[in-house]
Amino acid sequence: MFIFFCFLPLIVFSLAFLALPLVRLFSASVEGELGWSIYGEILSNPRYMQSLLDTVLVSLAVTIAALLVATTAALFLTHNRFRGRSLLIASLTFPLAFPGVVIGFLMILLGGRQGLVNNISSNVFDTRLVFAYSMVGLFFGYLYFSIPRVLLTVMATAEKLDPALVEAARSLGAAPLQVLRDVTLPGLAPALIASGAIAFATAMGAFGTAFTLATDIDVLPMVIYTEFTLSANIAMACALSVLLGLVTWVLLMFARSLTGTSIAASG
Amino acid sequence: MTGTELQLLGCAKTFGGKTKALLPTDLVVKPGEILGLLGPSGCGKTTMLRIMAGLETPDAGGKVLFDDEDVTKVPIEHRSIGMVFQSYALFPNMSVRQNVGYGLKVRGIDGPERDGRVDEVMAFCRLEGLADRAIDQLSGGQRQRVALARAVAPRPRVLLLDEPLSALDAALRDTLRDELAMILRGLSMTAVFVTHDQSEAMAIADSIAVMKAGRIEQRAAPEVLYRDPQTDFVASFVGGANRLAGRFEDGELHLDGGTLKTGIEGNQPDHIFIRQEDIQISSPDVSALRGTVIGRVYLGTHTKLTIAGVSETPLVVSLQGATAPQIGEIVGLDIPATSLIHF
């Protein structure tokens, strides 16, 4: 009985915030004119499929880039003590507080038509360089808010790694890259998987940045928004949302099982 | 003896510009010798080991030599040393076999040659049948032997061990200490190990360097260190000897608990040492020294008594035989002048 009461909050949470909305979302998606064939309609619509593919690709690229940049930075920050280090770490986590809209602004200020990069390249090299309103702008915007998430998780794990592990590998003759491959990265693997999953899922569902940069971008959350507000096609918006959630979930499961087996195989 | 001669010449280490972890030290470890670095925490023994390993560089002027080769500036990965860490630092993502073979793998030794060497070393360290185990499936003693096997598999010139037994349960430590001593002897490799436990140092080492506050107090074979300590610190730290402090007069030491005939002539110290097992308990009526038993621990082979009222600090007496006095009893102490240690 006591155990039941301990589980109660979890059950309530799962039902109210997880199961119920999802069930409702799914049922709303098949209540339109098309019924169940709405999913067939999505699969045969090149615009939807292209936008799904673009979303997955930009999210993957952001995840990989964020893991690379943040892991390098995290390892440096873990192994080096210098003046202003805590201030730097605090400011690196700054973007966490920004909504997507602000990050969109930042990208426009940086890579927009009146942006910093364009100003410099126009004046110095006499070429226009505008990337804010494209997938490239979106990539940098997402990267900007993904890095702090990965960085914090990886740093927390890196600080707990036994420094003797690295020393042991070196004492056995391992060069720095071998130490990284055989000792450091396997030690960080759980953190890399967890933070990579968060970065990927966040990028898949990010909306504010895409909305601000809008013009040439057709990521799935934008398509859902358009279907919902402009076309008032609620069933389609719901079906696309289900698809977005499902694809993200399947890809994360796949990544998890892939890394899981590779860790098991080396262990 | 085979192996490499290890030499430190004027090696000192200062951390952060002021903390002197190690004062300038010279040390020679002969080929095949097993040297124990013994001392309390913070005495500089681990720093010295890390300088030998190449994990720390000595202050300017210090030199580390392997045979005649100056390796001071050679980083650890090119120094060809084997190291056993206090935490063992086994790679958790690799099996026992992969751990032991890692040093060979990074040297590009593959296939049957690597397998053969790994099997040989694992047999020597009594790890047969454990090759495919994961690290977290091993007992403490097995982990220690894997760490040792991993360190010696690439045939290093010098083997360095940092507190190799301190991560183990007290109950296991004695057995594994003797086992480690046997394996190290069988390797006939120049080895240096760090410990804060004098019985560990005595059981394993050919020669012990007792360290205190960044310098070597005395370097000698275990029996010499025990029978003939050269400093106060060595006498009390290695032998657990009792310090008797009082007023000297005509060869007699006047203590709180009576007078002790020392037979010392000429230069008279203000304190002397006596080992725990060299004190005999007798009747308080006939003895010139008396004290009160305040502690009594029965340990099977002997009984440890703590006796107050003799000198400034309570005396510890290790008594053989079954009939030891009880707590609160007043006892006499016989201390033969020939057993006294003084400098």
Residues in chain A where the model's pLDDT stays below 70: 215-216, 259-267
> Taking CB atoms and an 8 Å limit, are A167 and B85 in contact across chains?
yes
Beta-bridge mates of residue B272: B244
pLDDT at B196: 92
Please name the helix (run of DSSP H) or strand (run of DSSP E) that holds residue B292, with its range, or none: strand B289-298
Q: How far is Cα A130 from Cα A108, in angstroms, rounded to an integer?
A: 9
Interface contacts A/B by beta carbons within 8 Å: 73
Mean pLDDT of B21-39: 94
CA separation for the pair A192, A154 (Å, rounded): 7
* Range with the poorest average pLDDT among A110-114, B48-52, B93-97, B265-269: B265-269
- Is B91 close to A165, i.e. CB distance below 8 A? yes
Which residues of A make CB contacts under 8 Å with B? 162, 164-165, 167-175, 178, 182-183, 186-187, 189, 263, 266-267
**What would the mean pLDDT of B65-88 be, rounded to a whole number?**
94
Domain ranges of chain A: 46-259
Lowest mean pLDDT among B227-241, B255-269, B285-299: B255-269
pLDDT at residue B254, rounded to an integer? 87
Which residues in chain A have Cβ-Cβ distances shorter than 8 Å to B163?
none
**Cβ contact B14:B59 at 8 Å:** yes
B51, B24 in Cβ contact below 8 A? Answer: no
**For residues A142 and A9, what is the distance between their CA atoms, to the nearest angstrom?**
34
B27/B4 Cα distance (integer angstroms): 14
Whether chain A has a CB inside 8 Å of the CB on B80: the answer is yes
Rounded distance between C-alpha atoms, residue A221 and residue A227, angstroms: 10
Strands B280-282 and B271-274, sheet pairing: unpaired
Question: Cα separation of A31 and A35, whole Å?
Answer: 6
Residue with tokens 């042991």: A168
**What is the DSSP code string of B127-186?**
-TT-TT-BGGGS-HHHHHHHHHHHHHTT--SEEEEESTTTTS-HHHHHHHHHHHHHHHHH
Compute the nearest-CA separation of B63 from chain A (Å).
Answer: 19
Q: Which residue has the higher pLDDT, B333 or A256?
A: B333
Distance CA B73, CA B189 (A): 23
Overall fold of domain A46-259: MetI-like fold (1.10.3720)
List B residues 47-76 in contact with A (Cβ-Cβ < 8 A). 53, 55, 75-76
B177-to-A194, B89, B327 alpha-carbon distances in Å: 42, 19, 34
Chain A: residue nearest B85 by CA? A164
B304-329 pLDDT, tens digit each: 999 998 888 899 999 887 678 889 98
- The pLDDT of residue A215: 65
Look over chain B and give the mean of its residue pLDDT values, rounded to a whole number: 90
B130-133 contacts at long range (C-beta below 8 A, 24 or more positions apart): B130/B96, B131/B95, B131/B96, B131/B97, B132/B95, B132/B96, B132/B97, B133/B95, B133/B96
Check whether B301 has a pLDDT greater than 90: no
**pTM for the full model?**
0.81
State residue A259's pLDDT score.
Answer: 66
Q: Are A10 and A4 in contact (CB under 8 A)?
A: no
Give the integer Cα–Cα distance in Å for A7 and A1.
Answer: 10
Q: For residue A201, give both structure tokens.
A: 């899922």
pLDDT more than 90, % of chain B:
57
Under 8 Å between Cβ of B168 and B141: yes
Taking residues B216-237, what's their average pLDDT?
91
How high is the ipTM of this complex? 0.84
Tell me how far apart the alpha carbons of residues B229 and B214 are, in angstroms, rounded to a whole number.
19
Q: What is the pLDDT of residues A77-96, one digit of tens each?
A: 988 888 888 888 888 877 88
CA distance linking residue B268 with residue A250, whole number of Å: 86
Total Cβ atoms within 10 A of residue A125:
9
pLDDT beyond 70 at B78: yes
d(CA A266, CA B118): 18
pLDDT at B340 over 90: no
CA–CA separation, B251 vs B262, rounded Å? Answer: 6
B133 with B99: CB under 8 angstroms?
no
What's the whole-number mean pLDDT along residues B129-152?
92
CB within 8 Å: B107 and A266:
no
pLDDT value at position B58? 94
